[in-house]
């Protein structure tokens, strides 16, 4: 890994869930509270701040200018922001994200610029709008220091993207101990692919949207027995801190206590002992045992589906709800991950079931998903 990446502190500040003065208004960021969070993070040795054009409907970037950029020297921090091109109506709008982000942030350049949420059908929009070349040209013009992309897709898709775009400086991936061997997310294989391409990884979702902090009791008990004083969050972060080829690990922090706790856990970080690793393996096994749809994401079922139902994604979300015991969480993910082919589009033709080597009752499972998530 390049020295400039290797020296980045492994705890990064995700600015997508900042404290609000009005819980119903995503733009009402509590700036004074956020300033104290920024101060505690920097005092604790942090430097990497991650935002995006769309976080808090644009207010995250502006808040970062007020809490960080206007209060600290430029060499005290790095800023990453992102362009959600696939949600833009045309190329011109997508490309206008960068100057708008720079203006909101009050910066002449961003350290890291990401094409936001590449993967699946969204990739075509980045291609169509010429966003890859646009970002590289902006880098040449000095507006961006490092170009990368965030991705929600499997390892083969990542391999193809990195082969097609070898100029990428880094990539941002969903990695955590629950998704490590998950057949849909394929976090382990994705990390191997990134390493193969010699591209460092910014880890997102290290605690799976907070689900690995609020673990079901039977999994939390396993971890508590191995290390009574360690928080459940610390297990999730340590898992990621100690992986190879990691640029930083993002934590979406919402209050000062979380910043202090994360900084303390980060400073106390050490690799798992063999006993701790065994306990974590057991906790993961316990969680996986709570999932009951044995889909391996072989994808044989999707080829002949006349309705384009995203079957393995939907089955994965059914399992996620069971493992996390949290329907709202899975439903929130379903709202965008299943959008290209939701369960309710199924016409029960049966083509998928005849292809499934696991013998899964797909039609029934889709009925369950439609009832729970739509």
Give CA–CA dist 241/231, Å, rounded: 15
Q: Six-digit token pair at 38? A: 């920024």
Q: Of 125, 39, 107, which Cα lies nearest the Cα of 69? A: 107
Task: Kindly state the smallest distance separating residue 294's Cβ from ligand SF4, in Å.
Answer: 7
Give CA–CA dist 44/263, Å, rounded: 6
> Which is nearer to ligand SF4, 289 or 350 (by Cβ)?
350
> Which is nearer to ligand SF4, 189 or 299 (by Cβ)?
299
Task: Kindly state the smallest distance separating residue 115's Cβ from ligand SF4, in Å.
Answer: 27
Task: Kindly state the smallest distance separating residue 326's Cβ from ligand SF4, in Å.
Answer: 22
Task: Kindly state the smallest distance separating residue 186's Cβ from ligand SF4, in Å.
Answer: 13
Query: 230, 236 in Cβ contact below 8 A?
Result: no
Strands 170-174 and 201-204: parallel
Task: Kindly state the smallest distance separating residue 307's Cβ from ligand SF4, in Å.
Answer: 4
Task: Kindly state the smallest distance separating residue 341's Cβ from ligand SF4, in Å.
Answer: 8
> Which is nearer to ligand SF4, 148 or 341 (by Cβ)?
341
Task: Kindly state the smallest distance separating residue 329's Cβ from ligand SF4, in Å.
Answer: 21
> Which is nearer to ligand SF4, 20 or 356 (by Cβ)?
356
Query: 18, 53 in Cβ contact below 8 A?
Result: no
> Which is nearer to ligand SF4, 315 or 333 (by Cβ)?
315
Give CA–CA dist 301/217, Å, rounded: 35
Query: 154, 137 in Cβ contact below 8 A?
Result: no
Give CA–CA dist 87/342, Å, rounded: 19
Task: Kindly state the smallest distance separating residue 308's Cβ from ligand SF4, in Å.
Answer: 8
> Which is nearer to ligand SF4, 222 or 293 (by Cβ)?
293
- Site of interaction with ligand SF4 (CB under 6 A): 295-301, 305-307, 309, 311-312, 315, 346-352, 355-356, 358, 360, 362-363, 366
> Which is nearer to ligand SF4, 14 or 154 (by Cβ)?
154
Query: 356, 301 in Cβ contact below 8 A?
Result: yes
Q: Of 73, 153, 140, which Cα lies nearest the Cα of 113? A: 140
Tell me 29's DSSP state.
B
Give CA–CA dist 324/284, Å, rounded: 11
Give CA–CA dist 131/170, Å, rounded: 16
> Which is nearer to ligand SF4, 99 or 306 (by Cβ)?
306
Contacts of 39 (CB under 8 A, 6+ apart): none
Give CA–CA dist 315/368, Å, rounded: 10
Q: Can you tell me which residue has the tokens 């033709």?
A: 349
């Amino acid at each position: 890994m390049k020295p400039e990446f290797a020296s980045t502190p492994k705890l990064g500040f995700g600015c997508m869930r900042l404290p609000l003065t009005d819980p119903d208004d995503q733009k009402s960021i509590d700036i004074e509270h956020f300033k104290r969070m920024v101060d505690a993070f920097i005092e604790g040795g942090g430097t990497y701040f991650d935002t995006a054009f769309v976080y808090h409907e644009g207010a995250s970037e502006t808040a970062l200018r007020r809490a960080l950029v206007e209060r600290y020297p430029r060499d005290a921090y790095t800023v990453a922001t992102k362009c959600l091109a696939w949600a833009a109506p045309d190329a011109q709008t997508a490309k206008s994200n960068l100057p708008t982000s720079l203006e909101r942030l009050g910066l002449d350049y961003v350290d890291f610029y990401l094409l936001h949420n590449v993967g699946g059908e969204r990739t075509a929009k980045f291609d169509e709008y010429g966003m890859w070349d646009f970002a590289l040209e902006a880098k040449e013009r000095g507006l961006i220091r490092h170009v990368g992309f965030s991705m929600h897709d499997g390892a083969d898709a990542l391999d193809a993207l990195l082969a097609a775009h070898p100029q990428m400086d880094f990539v941002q991936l969903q990695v955590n101990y629950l998704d490590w061997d998950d057949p849909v997310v394929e976090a382990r294989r994705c990390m191997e692919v990134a390493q193969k391409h010699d591209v460092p990884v910014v880890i997102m979702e290290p605690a799976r949207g907070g689900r690995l902090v609020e673990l079901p009791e039977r999994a939390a008990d396993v971890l508590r027995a191995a290390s009574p004083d360690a928080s459940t969050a610390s297990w999730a972060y340590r898992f990621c801190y100690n992986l190879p080829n990691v640029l930083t690990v993002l934590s979406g922090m919402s209050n000062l206590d979380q910043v202090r706790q994360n900084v303390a856990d980060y400073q106390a970080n050490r690799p798992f002992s063999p006993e701790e690793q065994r306990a974590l393996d057991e906790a993961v096994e316990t969680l996986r045992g709570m999932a009951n749809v044995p889909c391996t994401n072989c994808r044989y079922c999707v080829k002949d589906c006349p309705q384009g139902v995203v079957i393995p994604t939907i089955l994965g979300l059914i399992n996620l709800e069971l493992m996390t015991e949290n329907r709202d969480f899975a439903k929130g993910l379903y709202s965008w991950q299943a959008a290209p082919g939701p369960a309710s589009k199924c016409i029960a033709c049966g083509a998928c079931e005849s292809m499934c080597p696991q013998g899964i009752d797909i039609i029934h499972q889709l009925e369950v998903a439609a009832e729970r998530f739509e």
